[in-house]
Amino acid sequence: MNQTLNNTAQIQQIINNEIDVMQSLVQLLEEEQQVLINNESEKLETITPNKNQLLSKVVELEKSRGQAMLQLGLSNDADGMRQLFATNSSNVALANAWQSLLSLSGTAQEQNKNNGLLINRQLSKNQAALNILQSGSAHQAGSMYGADGQSKIKSNTGRGIVAG
């Protein structure tokens, strides 16, 4: 029974750690959203690695929680958590922590989805601008610039026609 209490305390600690990481992720996703809205793509260079690091921590903590659940003979899913709550019905803090984690996870998922929509909208705008440049109107921009970004049109440096 003592091992069960230890594993339950360990699971609660892991969930608390997951909450901390998830709060940081939600905050970072909010920052990312503002960067995307303000079209400050250079700031994404610092946000993206931080986001990836937080997501790695989430996965790591999830695995740890899964191992602790397995040690109790429970599955690492909603059914396993319900069974854990049933056997620890007096542990209100555990149930509250789990609900907080689920709520934060839902918020992070929604923010990530919204950020993806913002990114896709910006990509569509960029593609439309490229299409205009490549199809050209009066100037055929696609034939004006080479792959190196330099103009293909050469100015006439010769003397041309001399009237005289």
The pLDDT assigned to 59 comes to 97
Say what the pLDDT of residue 19 is: 98
Task: Give me the pLDDT at residue 104, please.
Answer: 97
Among candidate residues 2, 1, 11, 3, the one with its CA nearest the CA of residue 91: 11
pLDDT of residue 156: 54
Closest CA to 19 of 52, 65, 83: 65
DSSP 41: G
Q: What is this structure's pTM?
A: 0.75
Residue ranges in the chain modelled with pLDDT below 50: 138, 141, 164
According to the model, what pLDDT value does residue 136 have?
60
Q: What tens digit of pLDDT does each residue of 59-74 get?
A: 999 999 999 999 999 9
Ramachandran class of 156: left when φ > 0, alpha when ψ lies in -120 to 50, beta otherwise: beta
Q: Quick one: which H or E segment has residue 25?
A: helix 2-37
Supply the pLDDT for residue 126. Answer: 81
**58, 25 in Cβ contact below 8 A?**
yes
